[in-house]
């Protein structure tokens, strides 16, 4: 399968460790899709003219992810501040996200043409990058599958009912939530006829597919140190498995295994 990720590359600044690592939702998914066995993986995004941009491009080259549509833009590469709590749980401090050059990044005709050459496109949907997600969703000439990550759903309104506007345009959606939201999210999935996967952190994950509910426990890591990017890794492996084998249970297991591997290291994709 050929997968292209669109949207975000960041430099993850670990405030407690005093170090920076390459990250960002779209890059994390792309790298993990490649590691999970995707035949071809591309990334469409923007990095700055700073050292962070250089490091990010080097990371993509090392991982075998195509970066021909990663634009070098004047300004700083996007940054996410991170703190690590006891037990490895990551925390994004308030005000710790800095969009940098991504604030003005837009998709051009050449970007959309490149995206159309893939089987599947994956996008994160949140306030700062919604204009990019809309461009992908509204491209009538894209013939592949569309998948999206809605993060914790905080930009979707009360009860995440904003999902109803997006689901008909997607082949698969991901959202992070707690168990109290499962019935609501299941109803939204059924109404749209779109598979929806809910990640529950240490409580595992649930997939709603074709009116059925599938449950997967989290797989414990022997040495959990950092949960940053675990959800991104899960999504990469789930999407690749699900659209290859059409088996939700198998896909949930694949996602859980990849997420468990990630939390045993610092950084969403390691050094």
Nearest Cα to Cα of residue 24 among 100, 89, 84, 87: 100
Q: Is the pLDDT of residue 155 over 70?
A: yes
Domain extent at residue 110: 2-262
Q: Is residue 267 part of a domain?
A: no
Specify if 148 maps to a domain: yes
Q: How far apart are the first and last CA of the chain?
A: 26
Res 222 pLDDT > 90: no
pLDDT of residue 87: 84
Domain of 199, CATH number, reads 3.40.1190.20
Domain assignment present for 95: yes
Segment 80-93 mean pLDDT: 93
Task: Give pLDDT tens digits for 115-139.
Answer: 999 999 999 999 888 899 999 999 9
pTM (2 decimals)? 0.96
Residue 189 above 80 pLDDT?
yes
d(CA 3, CA 165): 24
CA distance linking residue 177 with residue 33, whole number of Å: 23
Q: What is the structure's pLDDT at 79?
A: 97
Number of domains in the chain: 1
* C-alpha to C-alpha distance for 228 and 72, rounded to whole angstroms: 25
Express each pLDDT in 26-39 by its tens digit. Answer: 999 999 999 999 99
Residue 13 has pLDDT above 90, yes or no: yes
Mean pLDDT of the chain: 95
Q: Is the pLDDT of residue 271 over 80?
A: no
Q: Would you say residue 270 lies in a domain?
A: no
**66-79 residue pLDDT tens:** 999 999 999 999 99
Decide: helix, strand or coil at residue 42: strand
């Amino acid at each position: 399968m050929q997968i292209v990720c669109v949207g975000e590359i960041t430099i993850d600044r670990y405030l407690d460790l005093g170090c920076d690592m390459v990250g960002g939702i779209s890059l994390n998914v792309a790298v993990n899709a490649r590691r999970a066995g995707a035949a071809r993986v591309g990334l469409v995004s923007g990095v700055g003219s700073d050292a962070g941009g250089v490091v990010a491009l080097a990371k993509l080259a090392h991982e075998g992810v195509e970066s021909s549509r990663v634009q070098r833009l004047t300004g700083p590469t996007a940054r996410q501040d991170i703190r690590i709590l006891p037990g490895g749980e990551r925390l994004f401090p308030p005000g710790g996200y800095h969009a940098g050059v991504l604030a003005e990044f837009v998709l051009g005709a050449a970007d959309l043409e490149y995206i159309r050459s893939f089987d599947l496109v994956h996008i994160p949907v949140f306030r700062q990058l919604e204009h990019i997600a809309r461009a992908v969703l509204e491209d009538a000439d894209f013939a592949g599958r569309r998948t999206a990550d809605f993060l914790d759903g905080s930009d979707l309104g009360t009860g995440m009912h904003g999902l109803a506007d997006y689901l008909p345009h997607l082949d698969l959606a991901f959202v992070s939530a707690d168990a109290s939201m499962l019935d609501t999210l299941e109803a939204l999935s059924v109404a749209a006829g779109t598979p929806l996967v809910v990640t529950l952190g240490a409580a595992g994950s649930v997939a709603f597919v074709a009116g059925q509910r599938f449950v997967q426990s989290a797989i414990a890591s022997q040495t959990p140190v950092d949960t940053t990017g675990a959800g991104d890794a899960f999504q990469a492996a789930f999407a690749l498995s699900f659209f290859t084998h059409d088996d939700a249970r198998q896909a949930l297991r694949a996602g859980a295994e990849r997420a468990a591997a990630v939390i045993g290291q610092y950084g969403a994709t390691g050094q």
